[in-house]
Structure 1
Amino acid sequence: MAFVAPPGYQPIYSPRIPYLGPICGGLREGMSIYLQGSIPEDITRFFINLLCGESESSDIALHFNPRFDGWDKVVFNTCQDGSWGSEDKIRSMPFCKGQAFEMVIMVTSQGYQIKVNGNDFHTFQHRIPVERVCAMQIAGDVSIQTINVIGVRPPLPEAFSLMLYNLSGQKLYSPVPYSNMIPGGMIPKRTIVIRGMVPYGANSICINFVVSRTRDIALHINPRVREGIVVRNSEIGGSWGQEDRELSLNPFMEGQYFDVSSVFIHSVSLMSIRCGNQRFKVFVNGQHLFDFVHRLQSFTEVDMLEIQGDVQISYIHF
């Protein structure tokens, strides 16, 4: 059960800006593009284009252009046959100079729904059929750590124990307990995205990042639904460490989804686990949930993800 990406698509980590790359298989309704990045202090502007070809001269189905020019705004537009359309100007700025951000571009039947740091920002209505989109371009004053294309529905052989859909598009949840190797391990800057739901009557969930060779648990995330807490810990050499319990919020509530894309669900949140040199950083719905400082010196040996307990998992994006 791993995230199902478009045919030939792999997550992009720390791309060089300016960036121009394909979205293999193209876009369609129900897909999302998830980006992690940061804004420099001296920013003037940057843009993200969804292109209808793999060259800079291709038609642009979505032009997303934050401008820090004294009248901070975000400009949306399209470009067809070399001619720009009428601009949508949103005189509000969801980004902050010198700060990191998480952004999701969700493809709905109406348009591109933009969320920044977990907050709805703007929906730009389709002017060009989304099926024409096959590439992405990013340029300007921005640093990007991760680009993930999420929420696709390609045909799959039955042998794959992955996120599956029936022909009507209804999600078929994958079984728990879950255990799978992490391709390439938890190297610095690696981000894992998990989508799932806490069913009614749930008691406890367990998410472990494990060293398969030693069975050490570098990060143990244990939402205890009935107690209303999220316990974090590690188990090294067969001994549990000191629990971390304090949190400003608990997103793991009965009947709630935790997710990257709100296209399929009613209550949206984002769970992403990012590995850094000093700590794991965990975000839910674009909001920082907690940091967990590495207790295992050889944290780069973490190569297995395990999930147990009262949870339904839709996909996991490595």
Structure 2
Amino acid sequence: MAFMPAPGYQPSYNPTLPYNREIPGGLRSGMSIYIQGVASDHMKRFYVNFVLGGTPGCDVAFHFNPRFDGWDKVVFNTMQGGRWGSEERKRSMPFKKGAPFEMVIMVMDEHYKVVVNGSPFYEYGHRVPIQMVTHLQVDGDLELHSINFLGGGPDPGQIPVTIPAYPGPGTTQTKPPYELPTMEGPPIFNPPVPYWGRMQSGLTARKTIVIKGMVNQRASSIVINFKEADSENVALHINPRVSEGVVVRNTFMDGKWGKEERTISFNPFTQGQYFDLSVRCGHDRFKVFANGQHLFDYTHRFSDFHKVNMVEIKGDLSLSYVQI
């Protein structure tokens, strides 16, 4: 089963270094680049560059460069015409050697806004028009887990090439065998826990909900519910019981729980680790992916899943990104 990201959510998982790829749809105001990784135990420095072309020596619109050199700091700069401009520095280090991190670079009208591990870190004013930026580069003493381009258009390279052609007239098939997922609203960064999000049009086939966060260091349990806002009914209850190492799924309907399901291909919910969950509603089941890999399917037990109009998230976690 192929993972098909929704338009506006273009992830790349476990990319190799050096990373040098085109930004889907080009860079523009309102986009965000979300990077998860682990700093090397012996990290000296790494960089994230927004560049004008993907070739060596090209100009750099935004250079983000943490340096562990005895005077730990992060350096910011721009290269134009092959020459670096005036450096901006912040003598504060938001990264720890050997520790996982997540950073979001938000593209604003007047500046780049950098958020690290949920905390605002720096704003860097534009010296080069963002429309000229074409590629993202990352390299140095780190391990990349994921890079997500948020708010851009669909990237043809992200759509599986194995989608069969839609048959012509005269066939018995009435719709394509695969349908691209959809999303309803804009992303919310760093929402508080517990979190409640309303789906104004209810749950529909092809709708995708993305949840990114971090499991607390001493986590015991997490709950993610897809439910009816005006009742106690829960169509899909996802319950990572971190202390037990299992992920329980169930449905609560007519005042009682149904039969639990526990089988998964792997467990992404471990203490102190980030996760990236994508829940897609199909015509007959939920299809759930974690960190770009298929986690489980859950057959609909509600006769009318369109009545589901709320996402509830609570428990031992922090949230960095939710889009419903």
Do they superpose with TM above 0.5? Answer: yes
Q: Match of 1:280? A: 269
Q: Which runs of structure 2 are paired with 1:1-318 in the superposition (5 Å)? A: 3-5=6-8, 10-152=10-152, 162-163=182-183, 175-178=201-204, 180=206, 192-193=210-211, 206-207=225-226, 219-220=238-239, 233-235=248-250, 238-240=258-260, 277-280=266-269, 300=294, 302-303=296-297, 308-310=308-310, 315=323
Rounded to whole Å, the distance in 1 between the matches of 2:268 and 2:105 is: 27
Give the deviation of 1:42 after TM superposition.
Answer: 0.5
Rounded to whole Å, the distance in 2 between the matches of 1:277 and 1:82 is: 47
Rounded to whole Å, the distance in 2 between the matches of 1:23 and 1:280 is: 29
Cα offsets for 1:186-242 (capped at 9, x unmatched) = xxxxx94479xxxxxxxx97249xxxxxxx978348xxxxxxxxxx85339952489
Cα offsets for 1:165-193 (capped at 9, x unmatched) = 8xxxxxxx7622245488xxxxxxxx944
Q: Give the letter for the 2:225 counterpart.
A: C
Rounded to whole Å, the distance in 1 between the matches of 2:261 and 2:184 is: 37
Rounded to whole Å, the distance in 1 between the matches of 2:294 and 2:182 is: 25
TM-score (structure 2 length as normaliser): 0.58
Contact 1:2–1:163 (8 Å) recurs in 2: no
Q: Match of 1:168? A: none
Unaligned runs of 5+ in 1: 166-172, 183-190, 196-203, 209-215, 222-231, 243-274, 289-298
Q: Give the letter for the 1:177 counterpart.
A: L
TM-score (structure 1 length as normaliser): 0.59
Q: Which moved more, 1:300-309 or 1:14-23?
A: 300-309
Contact 1:64–1:74 (8 Å) recurs in 2: yes
SS at match of 1:131: helix
Q: Give the letter for the 1:129 counterpart.
A: P
Rounded to whole Å, the distance in 1 between the matches of 2:130 and 2:299 is: 34
Cα offsets for 1:282-314 (capped at 9, x unmatched) = 999x899xxxxxxxxxx9551469993435998
Q: Give the letter for the 1:235 counterpart.
A: N
Q: Give the letter for the 1:13 counterpart.
A: Y
Cα offsets for 1:73-117 (capped at 9, x unmatched) = 000000011000000010000101110011100001121100001
Give the deviation of 1:55 after TM superposition.
Answer: 1.2
Number of equivalent positions? 228
SS at match of 1:65: strand
Rounded to whole Å, the distance in 2 between the matches of 1:282 and 1:305 is: 28
Q: Give the letter for the 1:134 counterpart.
A: T
Rounded to whole Å, the distance in 2 between the matches of 1:88 and 1:148 is: 26
SS at match of 2:131: helix
Contact 1:3–1:162 (8 Å) recurs in 2: yes
Contact 2:33–2:147 (8 Å) recurs in 1: yes
SS at match of 1:79: strand
Q: Give the letter for the 2:202 counterpart.
A: V
Unaligned runs of 5+ in 2: 155-178, 186-198, 214-222, 228-234, 241-246, 252-256, 277-292, 313-320
Q: Give the greater-gyration-radius structure (CA).
A: 2
Give the deviation of 1:59 after TM superposition.
Answer: 1.1
Contact 1:46–1:66 (8 Å) recurs in 2: yes
